[in-house]
Amino acid sequence: MEENFNYHYIYEQNVITPSSIDLYNYGFFGQYHFNNDNNIIITLQHGFSNLATTIANSGNDSLSDGIWLALIGAISAFLFNVVQKWLERSSVRLTKSGEATLILIKELELISIEYWLKGYASSEREKILLSEINIKAMLITLNANIITIIDNLPYKDKEKTANKLRGFSSDIFDLTSGGDFESMVRLPDNRTASAIARKCSDAKALILKLI
């Protein structure tokens, strides 16, 4: 006949967090700055390792300390895997969105430069209208792609890079769809065409470094 096992035994042992534990003292906070994705993993490993070592060396052989050691090991492994997978997925999304954005910038650059190098001509009304529609659609898609890139940027210099990308999105919108855009009195504008080319080249160089 099987013995009856008291499944509530563990909970009757008054298992509580050791009062001496201060997460700031074990490297969970303050020791590393999250300006690099690897530092997240390093911080988790460092903090849980120090915490486990402290409990193991406390001189107490109680069930409470044993349970805490087991929990710390399990939580440490779980969080490491979660963070690692999150970083990998973020890196993949950054690469894919970056590659798609590079293609989009190239297409926007070509169609916009051609549009601004030529003035309005009634004989090409349909072609000009199609170009204007495509430019506006590309700008919407470009802005969405840049938001995706920013959301998946690595922690190192993230805000600085994000500001550059936002600046490009704003500048290229003003250049390609500002001024006499959609106007029937639009004249050829070499300056705007050159500015578009420079902005696109800078943005492509930036994104290539990210992916």
Q: Provide the pLDDT for residue 18.
A: 44
Q: What's the pTM?
A: 0.65
Measured CA to CA in angstroms, residue 134 lies from 6, 104, 121, 126 at distances of 71, 11, 18, 12
- Distance, CA of 207 to CA of 211 (rounded, Å): 6
Phi, psi of 194 (to 5 degrees): -65, -40
- pLDDT for res 76: 67
How far, CA to CA in Å, does 6 sit from each of 10, 12, 86, 100?
9, 10, 40, 59
Give dist(CA 63, CA 174) in Å, integer: 67
Half-sphere exposure in the Cβ direction for 12 (13 Å, CA): 4
Given a contact cutoff of 8 angstroms between Cβ atoms, the answer to whether 168 and 202 are in contact is: yes
Q: Where are the domains of the chain?
A: 13-86, 95-210
- Going residue by residue through the chain (211 aa), what tens digit of pLDDT does each one get? 444 433 333 334 443 444 444 444 444 444 444 445 555 555 555 555 655 565 555 555 554 555 565 566 667 666 667 666 766 788 888 999 999 999 999 999 999 999 999 999 999 999 999 999 999 999 999 999 999 999 999 888 999 999 999 999 999 999 999 999 999 999 999 999 999 999 999 999 999 999 8
Which tokens hold the place of 42?
A: 């390093």
